Chain A
Amino acid sequence: MYFSISPAKGCGNDVPADEPFHNDYIMNLKRIWTIFQARNAEFFRDRAAFGWNFAFPFLIIVGFGLIFNGREFKQFKVGVFPSTEQIIHLADSTLPQAFQQDRHIIFVPIADRSDGEKKLNHHKIDLLVDAHSSTHAYWINDSSPNGSIAERIFLASFMAGHQIPEKGIIHGLQIRYIDWLLPGIVAMNMMFSALWGVGYVIVRYRKNGTLKRLKATPLTALEYLTAQMFSRIFLLMFTICIVWLGADLIFHIQVRGSYILLLLIFFLGGLNLCAIGLILAARGTSEEFTSGILNFISWPMMFLSEVWFSLEGSSPWVQTLSRFFPLTHVLKAARSVMSDGATFADIRWECGLLLVSTLICLSIAALLFSWNE
């Protein structure tokens, strides 16, 4: 089956004027399907790599499940309302001095109580306090392990005989930390799998001559890259479903929105990350250099895309930088669907952004791609 896509990198010299308009401007689905199948077969038969793709996210999830049952974080985020913009006037507040000066606490300005409760619900803050309450009202999320520690620090800061602060618990269905964490783990696994599974593998193929062998066939660069990308996406979606199912069996993951929407978000995110991997692998034969570049991209993305922790309260430039990472948008959309039951209309911008970014990255990769340089 043939269909016209765009000029693809075909074989070299000029086409004679009398040559019919065919292969160079055609993307062949049969060839894409062939490479897709070959790559999948290779992945599924490489038991070590295949097993690790499942084991890694499971180990992380189970590990964190255990860790958050008992251990503390060094710092806790306390939301303070009412605060205007990014300013908190702690001096005017009724909060105890000891609490204000606690070096384990980061204070996050919150506009009002409802905004604070939402952030508490989403594990973006660990404790919410009313800065001007005479009863020292505070709120925690009962499912947050950090919340109970932050609460203990807060209560300990009141002197003996002082009025006991008024405790509040957020209403509605609470989001457990594991519910907040799971999409992050899945997305992180997706990022590593997409970047390394596509970028690193293509560089290795180029280095050992596999790409050169394929260049000696009518396969075009765009066909090859498309097949690679969809092969990885297929494997990613398969892995995500298995991991999610496993996590659900153990932790009973709460999803308020549509599973189909969740799959769509991860599909688009995976496409985008694969396309970025393709750009990184477009040229070069050094696995070491490629590995360095992949690390350079993936590590900031892992820490600044809210995989492990919320960026609430971090400096504005960090938050701005995080918006350049596709993983940020994947997680924002996924958590909205999971926690708030967001519909497609609510996450359309994130989906659109990921799709446009994919098309741009794939086009750049196809233009830059070299089989044997």
Chain B
Amino acid sequence: MQPILEVKNLRKCFSALQAVQDISFRVTTGTCFGLLGPNGAGKTTTLEIIEDIIEPTSGEILYKGHPRSSSFREEIGIQFQHTSLLNFLTVEETLRTFAKLFREPADLEEIIVRCDLTGLRKQRNNRLSGGQTQRLMLALALINRPHLIFLDEPSTGLDPQSRRNLWNIVKGLKDEGKTLILTTHSMEEAQHLCDEIAIMDQGTIIAKGSPDELIRAHCGLISIILPRSACKVDLKTLPFAIQQQGDELIILTPEIHAGLKKLMDLGIDLQDVSIHSPNLEDVFLHLTGKRLRE
């Protein structure tokens, strides 16, 4: 499928600091692309260069196969990580103000309902809670019926319920054929929402692919965790790779059902078993030797 966005050899230097180092990727139309990485990895800088908020040091960005033109701003929606609004306007006035800045604004009522702002119409911006502000910011990102939507850490500061609601909105947008690019340091969010992920660390992309591909490629084995005392057999006779950590045995298997069946056949007590499926956190740990939030 035709990529809606192509990023080629993008670099951004702030004096001596290389915030983004020669990164390239493509985003396919109608998908959700995630930039995953710890704080300071260069995700927001990359996003803001693509959004044309800051200038790159070098590199090329193609939108629908062409360099971004003046109509680019009419076709994108942005939810920034850190931004502010006019304090004394109400939610509805803010939406109306931003709608008038675009040629083809969305239906205001639809946006208000979609982002759950109905009860906040007359509320002034400076009296909104963090979660309510995030919803308003999302509504502003959708105010011009964008083709391409940028969400920078959209769930930061949201409670679990609000996060779920946000994810539902994002899924709804994907179902409508919109393309989304989001940054996050939440592996759960990336795994839940993204069709494709680029893992960033220290300004570079260290891995790219779908969540399943990344997990399969870098940490394909599932961990079956048992207390050492539950395993009475000679460990060398077990047909698995095994790691011993304190009083626990970590048995690594590519296929969970077959692995458990084999252990049961060997008469191993599985009463206190726990299972850990690899996730993107493990991928990141595997690739960098550190955790996402370190």
* Interface residues of A, Cβ cutoff 8 Å to B: 10-16, 19, 22-24, 30-31, 34-35, 37-39, 41-42, 45-46, 205, 208-210, 212-219, 371-372
Does more than half of chain B's interface fall in helix, strand or loop, or is it mixed? loop
| A19 to B: closest C-beta gap in Å | 5
With A46-B88, A217-B73, A218-B73: A212-B68 Cβ-Cβ less than 8 Å: no
With A12-B68, A31-B100, A218-B102: A38-B86 Cβ-Cβ less than 8 Å: yes
A14 pairs with B67, CB closer than 8 A: yes
With A42-B87, A217-B102: A209-B80 Cβ-Cβ less than 8 Å: yes
With A30-B100, A218-B103, A219-B101: A42-B89 Cβ-Cβ less than 8 Å: yes
| B78 to A: closest C-beta gap in Å | 4
Q: Is B97 part of the binding interface, using a Cβ–Cβ cutoff of 8 Å?
A: yes
Chain B contacts with A in 16-75, Cβ cutoff 8 A: 51-55, 61, 66-74
A23 pairs with B71, CB closer than 8 A: yes
B88 pairs with A41, CB closer than 8 A: yes
B53 pairs with A13, CB closer than 8 A: no
B83 pairs with A19, CB closer than 8 A: no
CA distance A208 to B74 in the complex (A): 24
B52 pairs with A13, CB closer than 8 A: yes
A372 pairs with B54, CB closer than 8 A: yes
A22 pairs with B86, CB closer than 8 A: no
The 6 closest A-B pairs by CB, nearest first: A209-B83, A208-B84, A45-B88, A23-B70, A13-B67, A34-B100
| B50 to A: closest C-beta gap in Å | 10
B69 pairs with A16, CB closer than 8 A: yes
B68 pairs with A13, CB closer than 8 A: yes
CA distance A19 to B69 in the complex (A): 8
User: Contact partner of A213 among B66, B67, B80, B103, CB < 8 A?
Assistant: B80
Name B76's closest neighbour in chain A (CB-CB): A216
Total A-B contacts with CB atoms under 8 angstroms apart: 96
**What 1/0 flags go to B87-98 for Cβ under 8 Å of A?**
111000100011
| B14 to A: closest C-beta gap in Å | 12
Name B100's closest neighbour in chain A (CB-CB): A34
Q: Which has the most chain B C-beta neighbours within 10 Å: A11, A209, A210?
A: A11
User: Contact partner of B101 among A12, A16, A217, CB < 8 A?
Assistant: A217
User: Contact partner of B83 among A15, A23, A35, A213, CB < 8 A?
Assistant: A213
Question: In the complex, what residues of A have CB within 8 A of residue B67's CB?
Answer: 13-16
Q: Is B85 part of the binding interface, using a Cβ–Cβ cutoff of 8 Å?
A: yes
A12 pairs with B55, CB closer than 8 A: yes
CA distance A238 to B140 in the complex (A): 32
Name A209's closest neighbour in chain B (CB-CB): B83
* Interface residues of B, Cβ cutoff 8 Å to A: 51-55, 61, 66-74, 76, 78, 80, 82-89, 93, 97-98, 100-103, 140, 144
| B250 to A: closest C-beta gap in Å | 46
With A30-B100, A31-B101: A41-B93 Cβ-Cβ less than 8 Å: yes
Question: In the complex, what residues of A have CB within 8 A of residue B73's CB?
Answer: 10-11, 216-218
B70 pairs with A10, CB closer than 8 A: yes
| B284 to A: closest C-beta gap in Å | 29
CA distance A22 to B72 in the complex (A): 13
| B108 to A: closest C-beta gap in Å | 14
B102 pairs with A209, CB closer than 8 A: no
User: Contact partner of A210 among B76, B86, B102, CB < 8 A?
Assistant: B86
CA distance A119 to B237 in the complex (A): 113
With A210-B84, A218-B101: A372-B68 Cβ-Cβ less than 8 Å: no
- 7 interchain pairs, CB-CB under 8 A: A15-B69, A19-B69, A22-B70, A35-B97, A38-B97, A212-B53, A217-B144
With A13-B61, A217-B102, A218-B103: A209-B86 Cβ-Cβ less than 8 Å: no
CA distance A10 to B89 in the complex (A): 26
Name B78's closest neighbour in chain A (CB-CB): A216
Name B97's closest neighbour in chain A (CB-CB): A38
A11 pairs with B80, CB closer than 8 A: no
CA distance A89 to B125 in the complex (A): 69
With A212-B53, A216-B80, A217-B101: A11-B88 Cβ-Cβ less than 8 Å: no
Question: In the complex, what residues of A have CB within 8 A of residue B69's CB?
Answer: 11, 13, 15-16, 19
Name A31's closest neighbour in chain B (CB-CB): B101
Question: In the complex, what residues of A have CB within 8 A of residue B55's CB?
Answer: 12
CA distance A219 to B93 in the complex (A): 17
With A42-B88, A209-B83, A209-B84: A34-B97 Cβ-Cβ less than 8 Å: yes
B87 pairs with A24, CB closer than 8 A: no
User: Contact partner of B84 among A14, A16, A41, A213, CB < 8 A?
Assistant: A213
CA distance A23 to B140 in the complex (A): 21
A210 pairs with B52, CB closer than 8 A: no
| B109 to A: closest C-beta gap in Å | 19
A372 pairs with B53, CB closer than 8 A: yes
Q: Which has the most chain A C-beta neighbours within 10 Å: B51, B68, B69, B73?
A: B69
| A356 to B: closest C-beta gap in Å | 31
CA distance A16 to B63 in the complex (A): 11
